[in-house]
Amino acid sequence: MAPHPKATDLPALLARLCDAGVEFIIVGGAACVIQGAPITTNDLDIVHRRTPENIERLLELLRQLEATMRDDFANRGLRPTAELLAGSGHLNLSTSLGPLDSLCELDGLGFDELLPHSQTLIDEGRLLRVLDLPTLITVKTKAGRPKDRLVLPILIATLEERDKAKR
């Protein structure tokens, strides 16, 4: 098996998820970047819908992308399972298109609860759902991790600039 790239090929990974019919919401750094925040990210974080059909579509795509668990420090090549994707945890995966973190929940909220807090956009004919900036700010504030605290002023400024431009 070829080594996986260090940074995510975001356009290719999003295209593959959409083309596979996976229902997901983009969260984390990629959601910030898509909404104009001047930050960088090396992975794609998504919250996937946890229906059996959607989990099967996601699992099949992950097989095609040779996904393995990133936190497997013994390098056993552990693969994601339907049971893990149906749970409530986070799967930090390495794929042939770069790191993908498939979150079953974000801040205790699943796909259906986050859906009203997402925006839709069309990219190359594909519908993408992206968690909105106010919700991202709330989630990152609650998380309180150093990397989240560093990006919060940028997200708040991005939201303020966007709101000013609307007036």
The predicted-structure confidence for 65-115, as pLDDT tens digits, reads as follows 999 999 877 778 889 999 999 999 999 999 999 999 999 999 899 999 999
| Domains (range + CATH), the chain | 10-157 (3.30.460.40)
Which of 82, 105, 80 is closest to 94 using CA atoms? 80
| pLDDT one-digit tens code per residue, 21-40 | 999 999 999 999 999 999 98
d(CA 152, CA 167): 23
**Model-wide pTM > 0.95:** no
